[in-house]
Structure 1
Amino acid sequence: MIGHMGPLSERDHHRLAEFIDQAAGIQLPAHKRSLIESRLRKRLMVTGKDSFHQYLDWALMDSSEQVMLIDVLTTNKTDFFRESNHFSFLTEYLSQRLQNASLRRSHYRFWSAGCSTGEEPYTLAMVLENLKRDYPGFQYSIEATDIAPSVLDTARRGVYSHDLVQPISMVDRKRYLLRKKTRQVDLVKIAPELRHHIRFAPFNLITGNFSSMGEFDGIFCRNVMIYFSPAQREQIIEQFAAALSAGGLFFIGHSEGLSGRQFGFDSPMPTVYQKISS
Structure 2
Amino acid sequence: MATERLQQDALSARDHRRVADYVGRVAGIQLPESKHALIEGRLRKRQHARGLRSLRDYIDFALDEQAGAEERPHLIDAITTNKTDFYREPAHFRFLREHVLGEIAVRHERGWRVPLRIWSAGCASGEEPYTLAMEMLELRRMHPEFRFEIRATDISASSLAIARSAIYPHQRVASMPLPLRRRYLLRSRDRSLDLVRMAPEVRERVRFASFNLLTDAYDVPDSPDIVLCRNVMIYFSHPDRDRIVARFARILPPGGLLLVGHSESLSGSESSGGSGTAFVQIQPAIYRKIVPGAHP
Confirm or deny a common fold (TM above 0.5): yes
The alignment of Structure 1 onto Structure 2 pairs a total of residues equal to 278
Q: Give the distance between the partners of 1:253 and 1:148, measured in 2 at CA.
A: 19
Kept after mapping to 2: 8 A contact 1:111/1:219: yes
Compute the TM-score of the two structures, normalised by the length of structure 1.
Answer: 0.94
1:1-278 to 2 correspondences below 5 Å: 1-5=2-6, 6-60=9-63, 61=65, 62-95=68-101, 96-101=103-108, 105-212=113-220, 214-259=222-267, 262-278=276-292
Q: Which runs of 5+ in 1 are unaligned?
A: none
Q: Give CA deviations for 1:221-257 in whole Å, capped at 9, x if unaligned.
A: 1001111100111101111111212211111001111
Q: Give CA deviations for 1:40-91 in whole Å, capped at 9, x if unaligned.
A: 1111111122222222222122333111001111241211111111011111
Worse-matched range after superposition: 48-57 or 123-132: 48-57
Does the residue aligned with 1:251 lie in a helix, a strand or coil? strand
Q: Give the distance between the partners of 1:195 and 1:263, measured in 2 at CA.
A: 36
Q: Give the distance between the partners of 2:3 and 2:40, measured in 1 at CA.
A: 11
Structure 2 CA distance for partners of 1:22 and 1:2, relative to 1, 3 Å: farther
Kept after mapping to 2: 8 A contact 1:237/1:263: no
* Letter of the structure 2 residue corresponding to residue 143 of structure 1: R
Does the residue aligned with 2:146 lie in a helix, a strand or coil? coil
Worse-matched range after superposition: 268-277 or 252-261: 252-261
Once the two structures are TM-superposed, the CA of residue 183 in structure 1 deviates from its matched residue by: 4.1
Q: Which runs of 5+ in 2 are unaligned?
A: 270-274
Worse-matched range after superposition: 33-42 or 191-200: 33-42
Kept after mapping to 2: 8 A contact 1:250/1:272: yes
Structure 2 CA distance for partners of 1:65 and 1:213, relative to 1, 3 Å: farther
Kept after mapping to 2: 8 A contact 1:78/1:116: yes
Structure 2 CA distance for partners of 1:183 and 1:173, relative to 1, 3 Å: closer
Worse-matched range after superposition: 185-194 or 53-62: 53-62
Does the residue aligned with 1:117 lie in a helix, a strand or coil? coil
Q: Give the distance between the partners of 1:102 and 1:151, measured in 2 at CA.
A: 34
Q: Give the distance between the partners of 1:64 and 1:10, measured in 2 at CA.
A: 25
Kept after mapping to 2: 8 A contact 1:148/1:202: yes
Structure 2 CA distance for partners of 1:252 and 1:3, relative to 1, 3 Å: farther
Q: Give CA deviations for 1:116-138 in whole Å, capped at 9, x if unaligned.
A: 11110000001111111112111
Q: Give CA deviations for 1:197-216 in whole Å, capped at 9, x if unaligned.
A: 11111111111111136410
Does the residue aligned with 1:184 lie in a helix, a strand or coil? helix
Q: Give the distance between the partners of 2:232 and 2:259, measured in 1 at CA.
A: 11
Q: Give the distance between the partners of 1:2 and 1:253, measured in 2 at CA.
A: 41
Structure 2 CA distance for partners of 1:145 and 1:2, relative to 1, 3 Å: farther
Worse-matched range after superposition: 32-41 or 18-27: 32-41
Once the two structures are TM-superposed, the CA of residue 9 in structure 1 deviates from its matched residue by: 2.5
Kept after mapping to 2: 8 A contact 1:106/1:138: no
Kept after mapping to 2: 8 A contact 1:219/1:250: yes
* Letter of the structure 1 residue corresponding to residue 126 of structure 2: G
Does the residue aligned with 2:26 lie in a helix, a strand or coil? helix
Worse-matched range after superposition: 219-228 or 63-72: 63-72
| Identity %, equivalent residues | 46
Once the two structures are TM-superposed, the CA of residue 179 in structure 1 deviates from its matched residue by: 1.4
Q: Give the distance between the partners of 2:163 and 2:221, measured in 1 at CA.
A: 19
User: For the aligned residues, what is the CA RMSD?
Assistant: 1.7
Q: Give the distance between the partners of 1:106 and 1:26, measured in 2 at CA.
A: 36
Kept after mapping to 2: 8 A contact 1:71/1:150: yes
